[in-house]
Chains A and B, each alone.
Chain A
Amino acid sequence: MSDALAAELGAQSGSGAPRWYRSSFWPYFGGKLLGALISFLVMLVIGFTIFNVMPADPVATFTRQHPTSPKQIANLRHQLGVDLPVWHRFLNFVGHTMQGKLGDSWQYHQSVASLIGERLWPTVLLIGSSTVIAVALGLWLGIRSGWRHGSAFDRTASGVSLVLWSVPTFWLGLILLVVFTVGAGPIPSGLFPAGQMSTPGFSGSWLAHVGDTVHHLILPCLTLVLVIVAQYVTIMRSSIIDELGAPYLLTARAKGLRDDEVRRRHAVPNALLPTVTVIFLQLGTIVGGAIAVETVYSWPGLGFLTFQALEIPDLPLLEGTFIVLSASVIVMNLIADMVYRVLDPRVRAQ
């Protein structure tokens, strides 16, 4: 998948925008922004269609285990707006979305936007920290492996990352959870907390709170890093290999630079270009991994919220998380385009 992606990316970066866009930054940016906006609108339509093709009525589910009179049921249907015909709901949806609202959750009795607002920061923390660590580690491994491809180091690094890429995220999470909380063999019990992002009722200075959050973050972050690091290793490794035969490296060597210096000062900066864009494009995949990780570790983020919405299913909430996750991917793609433009001297020069 990552190989195909790298290849695909190569094709994309070459044919991304017509030549006249590149004459200066703002028209280029405007074009990309317009594209992103259209993507967003299309995504809204797709989202609405998915969630309204089969209107589900959650009321029976809410009232199933609780004393309820038929009158109560009718009221609840009205409260949730599920008694309206589809066209009416579509108008409501369009209206709400235009105002930046995402409707009300069926199960929480509060607006989807406020729920998402509460859960956004934990997800940003989890995805952010894992991405930073995975990128740093992945690039380092990728550079080393690519530079001496075929070496024992390369084979080990590539092999391990390939295996990790093949591991189902939630399964790895479950195993790490049990091993590092309950303990196994030489690993003592109680090393890490079993889920959530903070010790409830924790008291102490803000620094202690940071420490507490880090303590909770380590396992979910480790799980996500292990699973996503392979992508960066693979991409960086192939970019380096692509650069290996480049004439400028020969020139650099001819100038008498040491091997290390050739790599660091010439090969790496050039190979980084395609990689940086991929880092942003990959965030979409990481969002998927975050759903599994958050569920296993009860991490109170958007992924976990998505999982909780699945139970009923709470369609407005599911719709909300879908829109927010998709929008963030679209934004990341936009940033990837911008970063590429800023970094690539060939594009900048034109």
Chain B
Amino acid sequence: MRRIGIAGAVALIASAALVGGAPRTTAASVKTVTIQAAQIKTLNPFLSYFDSELNILGSIYPSLYRYDANNNPVPYLAESATTSPDHLTWTFKIRQGLKWTDGQPITAKDAAWTFNLIMTNSDAATANGSLVTNFASVVAADDSTLVIKTKTPQANMPYISITITGIPIVPQHIWESKLKGLGKYLNSDYPVVGYGPFILAGYKTGQYATLEANKDFYEGKPKIDKLILQYFQNDDATIAALRTGQIAYARNLPATGWKSLQGAKGVLAFKEAPTRWTGVEINPGAETRSGKKLGTGNPILADPKVRLAIAYAIDRQTLVTKVLDGLGLPGAGYIPPAYTQFAWQPSANEVVGYDPAKANQILDAAGYPEHGTYRVDSRTGRELRFRLGTHSDDADDQAIAPYLVGWFKAIGIKLTPQAQSMSGLNDNLAKGDWDLLMDGWGTGPDPTYLLSIQTCGTLPKDDGTGGNTDAFFCDKHYDALFTQQSQQFDPKQRAATFARMQQILYDANCDIILYYNYILDAVRTDKVSNYPVGSENSSGTYPLQDAFASWEQAVPESSSGSSNAGFWVGIGIAAAVVVLAAAAFTVWRRRTAAERE
């Protein structure tokens, strides 16, 4: 009786292998591509703000604009836009004849409803509330005309509703009924009604999301029928999956692992221009908006000369070589170099480079003589001893910290790294309880927000709330320039203002930009062709990748089927284990049965 049961189980496993077949062979007609994605927490377009989520939302919900290959806004849902002479009224013509994936027409009313919801409902404002703060009113004049009135002229209007980095527009008829409990709605009624090259067909929390091609997309159905975005916790696992063909594309790989993919067969490992920087913040004397002192920051750092000396003490090129394995650029300007139209670099005679001797000179001259191993402030007798907050989960922070400790020691400053959780670090930051902090920021093509966090308006109120300052930097001249750029509609003029703002930040040394890291990608050219990586520039760097364009244009190659071999081996081992166990059990039963007789 029992033996039959086991035989049955063995047969079951064997037939599972036979009947089921290996992955991806049964549905040969559906062209599936699996790629790596970072972690996805929620796909509710009003709540999502992680890159991995935004990449998906950009492909399943429309926006007024999308990016072209040079990261400039081009029309998407909005066919054209006109502005009034006072630049306060924007009139958008909405593309006609487009339909949500449930067949309902897409109209200006959907767009107006979405914007108004974000402006009035605090749950809906969770992710993108800051983008509409300057909006006075949004109305749909008719099905094809959207009118937005702003409080002050707003130069970055095209970036407000743009794929991936801006506001996605949702179908009013679907979301009207979701308003109650919007803050917890998971957007899990698959397939999700939206519009874009893809449709969200399913999502398993912490595992993968499945997108299916939208056959009604106005530029034609994408070549990939099914796009799966799979999450891996572990970089080694991601690289292993890429090597074995389990995934076709991965982004944001660590330098060491990426290098191991260079030259691998069927893999194009390429680097994108940097969109973020890693830096070290120095507390210039944290204050509230009204000038009240905050926190336990060391007052010595309020001296610009000390900060300048620190800037001279850091060897940025070595950090690029050692921490990034050479895969980055030494830092200087505040806007990352991927955005060539806005990026700024100091001229040759303005550069503060690695010069410990000069740093020592500055400190000597500024009244910080050496006293034993470390310097002291000759006025207060206080030692130059600072804390350095690092993100405990950030490998690069941990790699950089010991270098800073060594270089600071060379100029007579004692630096003590303190690894903290993100919340712990940000808590201390907001309270002003810090001396130096590791910091990193990335930005989309519109740097407005990145620049805004250095304005005085982002300092906390006297009760400690209401602040979202980067590092308690506050400069009236910088603030005036910030206001000025927001109303400059000529990109060239705006870029010139950005340059002056970046100069101010560079001279203040409150945010010392250490490096910009390349984004390291790899794509399996034997799994997808025509993946629009662009062409590399003279230094071997590729332009910034746009998930929207990449997925829309990539063409899947018929799978070579190499990954199936592993599946059969796995099944074979599993079957062998079961058979062995069954055999052992059977023998045992037979022997005990004999004893019982």
Min CB distance, A191 to chain B, in Å?
5
Contact flags B455-466 to A (C-beta < 8 A → 1, else 0): 000100000011
Q: Is the CB of A61 within 8 A of B42?
A: no
Q: Residue B241 at the A interface, CB < 8 A?
A: yes
A202 to B226, CA, bound (A): 11
Q: Residue B593 at the A interface, CB < 8 A?
A: no
Q: Residue B402 at the A interface, CB < 8 A?
A: no
Q: Residue A297 at the B interface, CB < 8 A?
A: yes
Min CB distance, B56 to chain A, in Å?
14
Q: Is the CB of B207 within 8 A of A57?
A: no
A211 in complex: contacting residue of B17, B127, B231, B468, CB < 8 Å: B17
A69 to B127, CA, bound (A): 10
Q: Residue B218 at the A interface, CB < 8 A?
A: no
Q: Is the CB of B243 within 8 A of A200?
A: no
**B430 nearest in chain A by CB position:** A60
Q: Which of B13, B39, B239, B426 has the largest number of chain A CB atoms within 10 A?
A: B426
A298 to B230, CA, bound (A): 11
Q: Residue B130 at the A interface, CB < 8 A?
A: yes
Min CB distance, B334 to chain A, in Å?
15
Q: Residue A88 at the B interface, CB < 8 A?
A: no
Q: Residue A182 at the B interface, CB < 8 A?
A: yes
Contact flags A199-226 to B (C-beta < 8 A → 1, else 0): 1111111011111101100100000000
Q: Residue A75 at the B interface, CB < 8 A?
A: yes
B23 in complex: contacting residue of A63, A202, A311, CB < 8 Å: A202
Q: Residue A270 at the B interface, CB < 8 A?
A: no
Q: Is the CB of B240 within 8 A of A181?
A: yes
A68 in complex: contacting residue of B17, B129, B228, B421, CB < 8 Å: B129
Min CB distance, A58 to chain B, in Å?
5
**A69 nearest in chain B by CB position:** B130
Q: Is the CB of B126 within 8 A of A79?
A: yes
Q: Is the CB of A191 within 8 A of B237?
A: no
Contact flags B44-80 to A (C-beta < 8 A → 1, else 0): 1001010000000000000000000000000000000
From 196 to 213 in chain B, residues with beta carbon under 8 angstroms from any chain A beta carbon are 204-208, 210
Q: Is the CB of B244 within 8 A of A109?
A: no
**B44 nearest in chain A by CB position:** A109
CB neighbours (8 Å) of A63 from chain B are 468
CB neighbours (8 Å) of B441 from chain A are 65
B468 in complex: contacting residue of A68, A110, A207, A215, CB < 8 Å: A68
Task: Given A109-B184, A199-B23, verify A300-B207 contact (CB < 8 Å).
Answer: yes
Task: Given A65-B442, A297-B237, A304-B206, verify A194-B20 contact (CB < 8 Å).
Answer: no
CB neighbours (8 Å) of A56 from chain B are 421, 423-424, 427
Q: Residue A102 at the B interface, CB < 8 A?
A: no
CB neighbours (8 Å) of A214 from chain B are 13, 570-571, 574
A174 to B423, CA, bound (A): 29
A265 to B593, CA, bound (A): 12
Q: Is the CB of A195 within 8 A of B570?
A: no
Q: Which of A75, A177, A310 has the largest number of chain B CB atoms within 10 A?
A: A75
Q: Is the CB of B233 within 8 A of A192?
A: no
CB neighbours (8 Å) of A205 from chain B are 16, 19-20
Task: Given A71-B129, A194-B241, verify A209-B426 contact (CB < 8 Å).
Answer: no
B241 in complex: contacting residue of A76, A174, A191, A195, CB < 8 Å: A195
Q: Residue A273 at the B interface, CB < 8 A?
A: no
CB neighbours (8 Å) of B567 from chain A are 211-212, 215
Q: Residue B21 at the A interface, CB < 8 A?
A: yes
B238 in complex: contacting residue of A194, A215, A264, CB < 8 Å: A194
**B54 nearest in chain A by CB position:** A66
Q: Residue A178 at the B interface, CB < 8 A?
A: yes
A341 to B296, CA, bound (A): 61
Task: Given A63-B468, A66-B127, verify A177-B236 contact (CB < 8 Å).
Answer: yes
Q: Is the CB of B241 within 8 A of A181?
A: yes
Q: Is the CB of A174 within 8 A of B570?
A: no
Q: Is the CB of B427 within 8 A of A57?
A: yes
From 552 to 597 in chain B, residues with beta carbon under 8 angstroms from any chain A beta carbon are 562-563, 565-567, 569-571, 573-574, 581, 592, 595
Task: Given A65-B441, A211-B20, verify A182-B240 contact (CB < 8 Å).
Answer: yes
Size of the A side of the interface (Cβ < 8 Å), in residues, is 79
A325 to B449, CA, bound (A): 42
CB neighbours (8 Å) of A75 from chain B are 122-123, 125-126, 129
From 469 to 528 in chain B, residues with beta carbon under 8 angstroms from any chain A beta carbon are none
**A57 nearest in chain B by CB position:** B427
Min CB distance, A242 to chain B, in Å?
23
Q: Which of B184, B226, B245, B592 has the largest number of chain A CB atoms within 10 A?
A: B184
CB neighbours (8 Å) of B49 from chain A are 62, 65-66
Q: Residue A107 at the B interface, CB < 8 A?
A: yes
A79 to B566, CA, bound (A): 47
CB neighbours (8 Å) of A193 from chain B are 241, 246, 566
Q: Residue A118 at the B interface, CB < 8 A?
A: yes
Q: Residue A67 at the B interface, CB < 8 A?
A: yes
**A199 nearest in chain B by CB position:** B23
A308 in complex: contacting residue of B17, B39, B230, B246, CB < 8 Å: B39
B12 in complex: contacting residue of A207, A295, A297, A313, CB < 8 Å: A207
A298 to B566, CA, bound (A): 19
Task: Given A63-B468, A72-B125, verify A211-B233 contact (CB < 8 Å).
Answer: no
Of the listed stretches B26-34, B147-155, B305-313, B541-549, chain A binds B26-34
Task: Given A190-B244, A208-B19, A208-B21, verify A196-B207 contact (CB < 8 Å).
Answer: yes
CB neighbours (8 Å) of A136 from chain B are 581
A90 to B28, CA, bound (A): 56
B571 in complex: contacting residue of A177, A209, A215, A297, CB < 8 Å: A215
Contact flags A42-62 to B (C-beta < 8 A → 1, else 0): 000000000000001110111
CB neighbours (8 Å) of B378 from chain A are none
Min CB distance, B462 to chain A, in Å?
14
Q: Is the CB of B232 within 8 A of A209?
A: no
Q: Residue B120 at the A interface, CB < 8 A?
A: no
Task: Given A212-B23, A313-B423, verify A191-B233 contact (CB < 8 Å).
Answer: no
A204 to B442, CA, bound (A): 42
Q: Is the CB of B44 within 8 A of A200?
A: no
CB neighbours (8 Å) of A211 from chain B are 13, 16-17, 20, 567, 570-571, 574
B244 in complex: contacting residue of A60, A194, A218, A304, CB < 8 Å: A194
Min CB distance, A272 to chain B, in Å?
14
A208 to B449, CA, bound (A): 50
A188 to B208, CA, bound (A): 27
Q: Residue B3 at the A interface, CB < 8 A?
A: no
Known: A177-B240, A300-B205, A311-B393; 10 extra A-B contacts, CB below 8 A, are A58-B423, A61-B426, A67-B449, A110-B186, A119-B206, A193-B246, A212-B20, A214-B13, A261-B595, A304-B206
Residues of A participating in the B interface, judged by any CB pair closer than 8 Å: 56-58, 60-76, 79, 104, 107-111, 115, 118-119, 136, 174, 177-178, 181-182, 188-205, 207-212, 214-215, 218, 261, 264-265, 295-298, 300, 304-305, 307-308, 310-313
* 18 contacts across the A-B interface (CB closer than 8 A): A56-B423, A56-B427, A60-B426, A74-B465, A75-B123, A79-B122, A109-B41, A190-B246, A191-B566, A194-B244, A194-B246, A199-B23, A208-B16, A208-B17, A211-B13, A218-B573, A304-B206, A313-B423
9 nearest A-B residue pairs (beta carbon)? A208-B20, A207-B16, A60-B426, A215-B570, A190-B244, A67-B449, A200-B208, A194-B240, A181-B240
